[in-house]
């Protein structure tokens, strides 16, 4: 365990369990990643690996644009995509608590990230409570996404789950309320839903045939517009 990991573990993100939690100071919340020192910008092409399972968890990343998938590999050799990260999502937070990454992070699209070493994250500065606040809010956001992952993608019929995934892809890349969506490959969508490529392909073909998904621009970019009926799922 490195010194930063030890510090976070001992301080429990800056709050003693038995002490009353201080009042929230809104002026100290929302630290911008790009304002930190020693930040680098990195770019990745689709299918580029950002880090592998087992690699040292010594860096934190913030996605600036594009989609990053977190992948775990089953004993059969098949992959499961356990999370998708879009703009403003953070990767590598496990580095504060453990030595290595549990998943492989792969660019699903062209991706730009900001990167900083765990040891350079300013947790030791005087008045660094706002950095702890930012970490806690980021972790809370990831927990909420984990709930969505289970609720939308692990239950229900395949048609409903594919519709949920299409809507989620739109939200995570273009923001809530946008009707634009860029689809992943059928293989990637199947790896998220835990189903077969054929099942996903069949449902997407139905959505395209009925107009629920309407092609936009270059077909090779997999850009579509969602019809309102998809929002009802």
> Mean pLDDT throughout 151-171?
92
Q: Which residue has the tokens 């969505």?
A: 148
Please tell me whether residues 122 and 180 are part of one structural domain. no
Please tell me whether residues 138 and 201 are part of one structural domain. no
Q: Is residue 85 part of a domain?
A: yes
- pLDDT, residue 209, reads 93
Is 200 within 8 Å of 186 (Cβ atoms)?
Answer: yes
Structural tokens at position 143:
């927990």
Look at residues 115, 142, 169 and tell me which one is the last residue of a structural domain: 142
> Mean pLDDT throughout 125-154?
77
> Mean pLDDT throughout 180-206?
94
Which residues are bridge partners to 41 per DSSP? 114
Q: How is the beta sheet containing 213-215 ordered, strand by strand?
A: 180-182, 223-226, 213-215
Banded model confidence at residue 2, pLDDT cuts 50, 70, 90: low
Whether the predicted model's global pTM rises above the 0.85 cut = no
The Cβ of residue 122 has, within 10 Å, a number of other Cβ atoms equal to 15
Burial class (CB in 10 A: 0-12, 13-18, 19+), 53: middle
Higher pLDDT, 4 or 191: 191
Banded model confidence at residue 13, pLDDT cuts 50, 70, 90: very low
What whole-number distance in Å separates Cα of residue 214 and Cα of residue 5?
48
Question: Where in the sequence is the domain holding 43, given as residue range(s)?
Answer: 3-12+28-142
């Amino acid at each position: 365990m490195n010194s930063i990991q030890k510090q976070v573990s001992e301080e429990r993100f800056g709050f003693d369990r038995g002490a009353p939690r201080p009042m929230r100071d809104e002026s100290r919340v929302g630290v911008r990643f790009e304002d930190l020192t020693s930040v680098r910008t990195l770019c990745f092409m689709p299918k580029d690996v950002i880090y592998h399972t087992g690699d040292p968890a010594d860096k934190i990343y913030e996605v600036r644009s594009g989609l990053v998938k977190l992948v775990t590999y089953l004993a059969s050799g098949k992959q499961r995509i356990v999370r998708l990260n879009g703009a403003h999502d953070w990767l590598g937070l496990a580095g504060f608590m453990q030595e290595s990454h549990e998943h492989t992070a792969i660019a699903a699209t062209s991706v730009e990230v900001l990167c900083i070493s765990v040891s350079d994250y300013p947790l030791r500065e005087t008045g660094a409570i706002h950095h702890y606040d930012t970490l806690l809010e980021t972790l809370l956001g990831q927990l909420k996404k984990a709930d969505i992952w289970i609720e939308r993608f692990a239950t229900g019929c395949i048609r409903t789950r594919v519709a949920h995934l299409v809507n989620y892809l739109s939200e995570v890349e273009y923001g809530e309320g946008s009707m634009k969506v860029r689809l992943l490959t059928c293989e990637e969508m199947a790896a998220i839903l835990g189903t077969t490529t054929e099942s996903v392909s069949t449902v997407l073909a139905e959505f395209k045939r009925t107009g629920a998904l309407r092609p936009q621009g270059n077909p090779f970019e997999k850009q579509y517009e969602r019809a309102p009926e998809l929002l009802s799922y």
